[in-house]
Chains A and B, each alone.
Chain A
């Protein structure tokens, strides 16, 4: 099960090379996203789209507010 993190932990992970992933629809990503985040909308998340990620590095997912 994924580890739930807060803002401070997020910043530490990103500084250490973590990959930030926004899973909201692409239009919402285009509007505004966290610096350096990539867009992998939940509806399109599969082995093919996830191939953009490096499995050897931490992956941090976020949406609007976790719901």
Chain B
């Protein structure tokens, strides 16, 4: 629809016309704020924790283990130079061979969710599967952060 609108505006004489083709879906999936009647519906972005332990693919996991130990998480996420999520390092591999490169021992391609997903829906899904954390990525695969079930439930119930 936006390409047609852009063309129409040019025919009406506008000369500086740009088309954000990825549109509202892309904006929402990046966890950015919105306005309107549905803007207050709790979404994943509302409890997104952006500070998460990351490691580069070739980094020895020994150094990563120290950072994880000082964090509230029991895992690290492996990301490329451009922030693209590649994998997850669970506690077991962090405690194993400290010289192992992250990309050799990571769990590749972990499941992720989008930042605009309704919070209640994801909280229920995690509860059913007995999971406590979900990884959040943008549509281009870049890591945005993680969400924790406890944060979601606190947000949904209004109880800290």
Contact = CB atoms under 8 A, between A and B. Distances in A.
Interface of A: 1-7, 9-10, 13, 18, 21-24, 29-37, 40, 42, 45-47, 50, 53, 55, 57-67
A7 B115 CA distance: 15
Contact of A61 (B2, B15, B36): B2
A29 B38 CA distance: 10
Interface stretch (B25-33, B65-73, B92-100, B125-133): B25-33
B36 A31 contact: yes
B5 A18 contact: no
Contacts of A37: 35
Contact of A59 (B3, B9, B26): B9
Interface string B56-95: 0000000000000000000000000000000000000000
B16 A31 contact: no
B15 A63 contact: no
B10 A1 contact: yes
Interface residues of B, number: 36
Contact of A60 (B10, B20, B36): B20
A27 B22 CA distance: 20
B150 interface: no
Interface string B35-50: 1111100000000000
B112 interface: no
B2 A23 contact: yes
B2 A63 contact: yes
Interface string B4-29: 11111110111111111111111110
A34 B1 CA distance: 16
Contact of A66 (B2, B14, B30, B36): B2
Given A32-B35, A33-B35, A42-B8, A3 B18 contact: yes
B12 A64 contact: no
A46 B11 CA distance: 10
Contacts of A61: 2, 5-6, 9, 17-20
